[in-house]
């Protein structure tokens, strides 16, 4: 966070938070308001894979833990941070899903069902809040860099390469600025063709950072 603040010339704050605990989420929102004012945008990014395994033998505890973090946590953060957006009549919330919520990953426990639920949660919220000026978008992340499994994953992607973190960051930025103001409730599958260097809108990051002064980024 300090590095981001130095590079962009803005203020930044980090805070640990268990997103399954409503009191901790409320405390985080209060701290953000005190430092920056109400959030303009939020990225619901907290998620876990869990212990995995086939559904026929998954324990109740393992199933519930993944749903608590991946789904209920998104709802709690949306309720707390989104309340300010509803009062103001504007805002954008991005909910991070996964390609595994579209194409199920066998023997991954509750992960695929939870990510499918994230997408539907976002779409329902988009329908309920659309006339009140607050957008919700489920961002379905594709395969991303992991050195230990890079080659096998590259073979699954038509473009022949898997993404890098900047690919996801670019999508976040676009979904939270006025250029995407007509987009809500549309599931975005973040899969791209190969490119060299930074994208055009990433190169214009200074303007993006000026617009994104108050961001509530919810992470594990």
Q: Domain limits at 171? A: 12-218
Is position 97 within any domain?
A: yes
**What's the Rg (C-alpha) of the chain?**
18
Q: What percent of the chain has pLDDT over 90?
A: 50
Is position 2 within any domain?
A: no
Confidence grade of residue 182 (pLDDT, cut at 50, 70, 90): confident
Residues 6+ apart with CB under 8 A from 47: 69, 70, 96, 98, 114, 115, 220
CATH code for the domain of 64:
3.40.50.720
In the set 111, 143, 144, 182, the catalytic residue is 111
The reply to whether the predicted model has a pTM over 0.95 is: no
Domain count, the chain: 1
Task: Answer yes or no: 111 catalytic.
Answer: yes
Using one digit for the tens of pLDDT, what is the confidence trace for 101-141? 888 889 999 999 999 999 999 999 999 999 999 999 988 87
Q: Could you tell me if 56 and 107 are in contact, meaning their C-beta atoms sit under 8 angstroms apart?
A: no
Q: How far apart are CA 163 and CA 111, in angstroms?
A: 21
Among 7-16, 38-47, 62-71, 183-192, where is mean pLDDT lowest?
183-192
Is position 115 within any domain?
A: yes
Confidence grade of residue 214 (pLDDT, cut at 50, 70, 90): very low
Is position 1 within any domain?
A: no
Is position 85 within any domain?
A: yes
Is position 169 within any domain?
A: yes
Is position 122 within any domain?
A: yes
φ/ψ of 103, rounded to 5, equals: -110, 105
Is position 6 within any domain?
A: no
């Amino acid at each position: 966070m300090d590095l981001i603040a130095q590079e962009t010339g803005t203020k930044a704050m980090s805070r640990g938070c268990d997103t399954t605990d409503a009191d901790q989420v409320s405390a985080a929102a209060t701290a953000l308001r005190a430092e920056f004012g109400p959030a303009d945008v939020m990225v619901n990014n907290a998620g876990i894979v869990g212990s995995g395994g086939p559904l026929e033998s998954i324990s109740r505890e393992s199933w519930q833990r993944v749903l608590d973090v991946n789904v209920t946590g998104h709802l709690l953060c949306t309720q707390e941070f989104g309340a300010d957006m509803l009062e103001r009549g504007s805002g954008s919330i991005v909910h991070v899903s996964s390609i595994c919520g579209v194409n199920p990953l066998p023997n991954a426990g509750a992960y695929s069902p939870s990510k499918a639920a994230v997408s539907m949660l976002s779409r329902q919220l988009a329908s309920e809040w659309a006339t009140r000026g607050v957008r919700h978008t489920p961002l379905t992340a594709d395969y991303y860099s992991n050195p230990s499994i890079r080659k096998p994953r590259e073979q699954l992607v038509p473009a022949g390469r898997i993404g890098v973190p900047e690919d996801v960051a670019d999508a976040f930025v676009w979904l939270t600025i006025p250029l995407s103001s007509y987009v809500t409730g549309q599931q975005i599958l973040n899969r791209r063709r190969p490119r060299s260097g930074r994208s055009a809108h990433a190169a214009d990051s200074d303007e993006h950072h000026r617009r994104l002064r108050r961001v509530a980024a919810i992470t594990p």
